[in-house]
């Protein structure tokens, strides 16, 4: 086993150059020779020009990374001694884990694996996946024996897209290894780039479970306030008013209602549910939380339609503007965005829907959801839904929204309640 010392530094290959992989590759390139690998040639070509569509890294940082090379050719990462896997792990249509990219990446690494190499997985998986699904591929297709010939570790990503405060460097990094030797070497490697330090998990399974629990906990708590918002709506009271009052107690946990999408919170709990099912346990709380959160887009769409009808308008002739399409504010990521559920529910009422977003790419929206972003904004909408609180959407006043509504009247749906107390003349509704 090679020692990762200044006299014998590793060559690091980062597999997958998305929201997680690129910042990681840039950070390691300040200390080591790094090869960034991605299957998408267009992505690699754009990065070589300093263009990052994720907006997680700026052009100068990419261009000035002298120890970083970028490629989509597998053979060019053969010299690496440490392979870090950061490929996406989404779910299938039936909510079962989609490990295809992870297993393919493992197969690619196996074709290059040498004695003394280390493979570190960062992709979110269920506990046991690294040892049960990935290592067998590495071993079988490389012809090497684990753990004698190569080592494996797991260090879950904790990047929050669009968050410039809680970055790779500023959040404690969970690390794990297949044995004490690999754990020590992996920990020391990450300590160079994570100023906040590392937490040495007792096993790979513990590290895998920790990441799943982080997002499952948030998902379950958000589902509670989403369910409360449905109840409070029937009572005619505002959920945010209730939470503001309840939040005055020192130990009240501050979660807020909203659309729960994206590649983490809206996906990771399903991985844990899947593993529990394999073990003969049917998760109740986690599944219930997922059901509530997955239904909120349809709920918002239906409530909007009801309020348009209540104003005496022909629903089939109604026009609605949806502001925001990404899964959260101030990012370009549309993966698993629940805004599309709002749109589809509105369309089920035969409502005409326009969608706009200053960060999303229209061609990606068309490819992923069959919905193009509108280029022209009407002046006669019957309702406006502020679905994503992008910074560009938080600076308006009521007159701005009136200017887009027919005769300056109509429904204003403020999903996250950012205009609460600021809308007086329009029919206002929020979760």
- CATH code of domain 11-202: 3.40.50.720
pLDDT in tens, 143-170: 999 999 999 999 999 877 766 777 888 8
Tell me how far apart the terminal alpha carbons of the chain are, to the nearest angstrom: 56
Q: Supply the mean pLDDT for the chain.
A: 93
Token representation of residue 22: 């690129």
* pTM given for the model: 0.91
- Closest Cα to residue 267, out of 223, 216, 220? 216
Does 58 score more than 90 pLDDT? Answer: no
Does 424 score more than 80 pLDDT? Answer: yes
Does 422 score more than 90 pLDDT? Answer: yes
- Closest Cα to residue 299, out of 413, 218, 407? 413
Q: What percent of the chain has pLDDT over 90?
A: 87
Write down the domain spans for the chain: 11-202, 237-260+297-429
d(CA 38, CA 104): 12
Mean pLDDT of 419-427: 96
Q: Which residues contact 140 (CB under 8 A, 6 or more apart)?
A: 110
Q: String of b and e for 92-107 (b: at least 16 CB within 10 Å)?
A: eeebebbbebbbebbe
pLDDT in tens, 194-245: 999 999 999 999 999 999 999 999 999 999 999 999 999 999 999 999 999 9
Does 6 score more than 50 pLDDT? Answer: no
Q: Tally Cβ neighbours within 10 Å of residue 407.
A: 8
The pLDDT, as a whole number, for residue 50 is 85
Does 4 score more than 80 pLDDT? Answer: no
Top-tier CATH class for 237-260+297-429 = alpha beta
- Is 264 in the active site? yes
pLDDT in tens, 105-134: 999 999 999 999 999 999 999 999 999 999
Same fold, 11-202 and 237-260+297-429: yes
Out of 129, 134, 178, 264, the active site residue is: 264
The pLDDT, as a whole number, for residue 163 is 67
Q: Which residues contact 86 (CB under 8 A, 6 or more apart)?
A: 14, 15, 16, 17, 18, 20, 21, 24, 122, 123, 157
């Amino acid at each position: 086993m090679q020692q990762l010392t200044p006299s014998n530094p590793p060559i690091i290959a980062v597999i997958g150059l998305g929201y997680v992989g690129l910042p990681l590759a840039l950070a390691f390139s300040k200390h080591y020779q790094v090869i960034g690998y991605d299957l998408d040639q267009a992505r690699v070509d754009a990065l070589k020009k300093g263009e990052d569509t994720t907006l997680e890294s700026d052009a100068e940082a990419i261009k000035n990374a002298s120890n970083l090379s970028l490629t989509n050719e597998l053979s060019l990462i053969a010299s690496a001694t440490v392979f870090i896997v950061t490929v996406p792990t989404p779910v299938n249509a039936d909510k079962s884990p989609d490990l295809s990219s992870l297993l393919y990446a493992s197969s690619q690494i196996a074709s290059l694996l040498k004695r003394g190499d280390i493979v570190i997985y960062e992709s979110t998986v269920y506990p046991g996946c690294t040892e049960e699904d990935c290592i067998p591929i590495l071993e079988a297709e490389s012809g090497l024996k684990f753990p004698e010939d190569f080592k494996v570790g797991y260090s879950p990503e904790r990047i929050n897209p669009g968050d410039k405060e809680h970055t790779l460097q500023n959040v404690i990094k969970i690390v794990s290894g297949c044995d004490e030797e690999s754990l020590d070497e992996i920990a020391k490697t990450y300590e160079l780039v994570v100023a906040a330090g590392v937490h040495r998990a007792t096993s790979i399974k513990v590290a895998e479970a920790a990441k799943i629990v982080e997002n499952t906990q948030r998902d379950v708590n958000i589902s509670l306030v989403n369910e409360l918002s449905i109840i409070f709506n029937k009572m005619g009271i505002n959920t945010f008013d209730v939470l503001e009052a309840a939040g005055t107690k020192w130990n009240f946990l501050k979660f807020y209602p909203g659309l729960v999408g994206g590649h983490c919170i809206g996906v990771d709990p399903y991985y844990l549910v899947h593993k529990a099912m394999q073990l003969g346990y049917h998760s109740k709380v986690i599944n219930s939380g997922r059901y509530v959160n997955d239904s909120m887009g349809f709920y918002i769409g239906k409530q909007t339609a009801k309020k348009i009808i209540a104003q005496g308008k022909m629903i089939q002739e109604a026009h609605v503007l949806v502001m925001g399409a990404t899964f959260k504010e101030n990012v370009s990521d549309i993966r698993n965005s629940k805004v599309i559920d709002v749109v589809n529910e509105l369309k089920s009422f035969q409502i005409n829907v326009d969608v706009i977003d200053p960060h999303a790419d229209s061609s990606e929206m068309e490819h992923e959801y069959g919905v193009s972003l509108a280029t022209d904004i009407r002046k006669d909408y019957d309702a406006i839904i502020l679905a994503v609180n992008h910074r560009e959407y938080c600076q308006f006043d009521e007159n701005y929204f009136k200017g887009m509504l027919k005769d300056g009247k109509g429904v204003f749906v403020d999903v996250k309640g950012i205009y609460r107390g600021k809308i007086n003349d329009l029919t206002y509704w929020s979760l």
